[in-house]
Amino acid sequence: MSTDLEARLTHAMHAAHAPDLLDVDAEAIVTGGRRAVRRRRTILGSACVALLLAIGVGVTHWSPLSVEDHRSVAPAATPHRQVVHVDPHAFDGSGQVGVEEWTISPDESLRRVTVTEERSDGSRAKQVLTWDFDDVPTIPSTDATVAPIRAGLRSLGAGTFLVVTPADASHAQLITGAAVPPHGWAVAGPNLERIDGTSYAVGLFQVPRSEMKAVAGFRMRLGDRVVDTRGTAYATTRLPDSDDLVWAAADGRFGIMTAEGSDSAWDAAGADEPGILGSFWSGPRPDMKADIPGFTSVATFGIAPHGATDIQVLYPENWPDQSMSYVTLPGREEQLVVARASAPTKPGGSPDTGAIRLAWTDARGKRHTAR
């Protein structure tokens, strides 16, 4: 019986109709590989510098970083791109997808792009995307032709993005796919030209889910906004000292897309009081003290009230690698605070997250601390 089963398994594994898997773009892999080699060299160099610094100043643990500290080093929030998630269920992927029409209302409050799929059976599927585009100068209405997508949209489980950017060098790379991180596919949309001659372009490109954070992190700047097809706005930031993307939605949801491609989402809509929302731990990281047995990397989320200054996530002093970031919740005044540290694990493996506190100073100068 075992032999029959083994034979059946072998046959099924070789003969089964696998889903329509996309071919790997070898050229893109090479591009991504070169980038990984460069990044590794940079990380090694940075690690040497950090080690020399640590030896030089005798650092044994870090004090909590304040928002002001972070602001002083954070890149300016100068969004000039809009990224819209195209609903993957809108198209069946059998045909070519492109941008059909781009319009702006007379008062410039509404920007609309019609994305169309021309299917192999001749039918057409349309999706109209609208969003507020107040960070980008006016673009006149124009008609455009449907542009073919290079690799097709067969794998609609991956993220599909519509991107509008100024037609500068980075945009040109984006549209050709050269700058799309290793596994992306790009399609050139119509070029949109303003009366003053400034060019913009619309592009559609598709990336696997694990690359969504790379798209956001690599292509969007801190503070850029993402709007989904239902009009929900998202703000993004990075989990400190990592490539993980933290996002917060206008409806109170927030979440993390880790560099490894896993997602977690939570809802802070019911969190009326400022304080710690909770913590997330995901195992040791090779670049931090969490690599030492007995330490675990912990990420902590909190809500700081409107007008709060000198925000700090207070970890126990023996938790090294402390760092912090924040993002203003879309449509709200509060800030989603994101911090991380390496926590000594207790017997059983869980860090003592109950000891974490959020501290801030209100508009009257009074200091607050909350769980």
Partner 1 sequence: MRRDDAEFTAFVEASQASLLRTAWLLTGNGAAAEELVQAALVKTYVAWPRVRRESATAYARKIVVRLHLDSTRRGHREPLTRTGSVPERASHDVYSESGDEILALLQYLPPRQRAIVVLRYYADASEADTARTLGITAGAVKSGASRGLATLRRLMDPAAADADAARSLT
What residues numbered 70-109 form the site for partner 1, per CB under 8 A?
A: 85, 87-88
> DSSP per residue over 81-132, as a string?
-EEEEPPGGG--SSSEEEEEEEEE-TTS--EEEEEEEE-TTS-EEEEEEEE-
Q: How far is the CB of 224 from partner 1 (least distance, A)?
A: 14
Residue 44 in the binding site for partner 1 (CB under 8 A): no
CB of 1 to partner 1, least distance (A): 7
- Options 91, 131, 185, 281; binder of partner 1; rule CB under 8 A: 281
Residue 246 near residue 237 (C-beta atoms within 8 A)? yes
Stretch binding partner 1 (CB under 8 A), from 102-110, 188-196, 263-271, 307-315:
263-271
Category of 169 on φ-ψ map: left (φ > 0), alpha (ψ -120 to 50) or beta: alpha
**Residue 43 touching partner 1 (CB under 8 A):** no
Q: Rank residues 143 and 272 by Cβ distance to partner 1 and give the closer one.
A: 272
Backbone angles phi and psi of 305, in degrees to 5: -75, 165
Give CA separation, 271 vs 198, 251, 268, in Å: 44, 12, 5
59 or 265: CB nearest partner 1 = 265
**Between 7 and 292, CB nearer to partner 1:** 7
Assess 353 for contact with partner 1 (CB under 8 A). yes
Mask for 140-159, x = binds partner 1 (CB under 8 A):
---------------xxxxx
In whole angstroms, the minimum distance from the beta carbon of 158 to partner 1 comes to: 5
Candidates 92-100, 188-196, 268-276, 330-338; binding stretch for partner 1 (CB under 8 A): 268-276
- Report yes or no: 120 and 20 within 8 Å, Cβ to Cβ: no
Q: Name which position in 264, 309, 318, 369 contacts partner 1 (CB under 8 A).
A: 264
In the stretch 201-220, what mask flags binding to partner 1 with x, by CB under 8 A?
A: -------xxxxx--------
Between CA 247 and CA 338 the distance in angstroms is: 10
Please report, as residue ranges, which positions from 298 to 317 form the binding site for partner 1 (by CB under 8 A). 301
- Tell me the DSSP string of 204-244: EEEE-GGGHHHIIIIISPTT-EEE-TT--EEEEEEPTTSS-
> What number of other Cβ atoms are within 10 A of residue 217's Cβ?
21
Whole-number minimum distance, CB 296 to partner 1, in Å?
9
For residue 103, give Cα distances in angstroms to 140, 144, 226, 332.
7, 10, 19, 29
Instruction: Provide φ and ψ at 370, rounded to 5°.
Output: -145, 155
Site residues for partner 1, 3-42, by CB under 8 A, read 5-6, 8-10, 12-24, 26-27, 29-30, 32-34, 36-37, 40
- Asked if 286 touches partner 1 (CB under 8 A), the answer is no
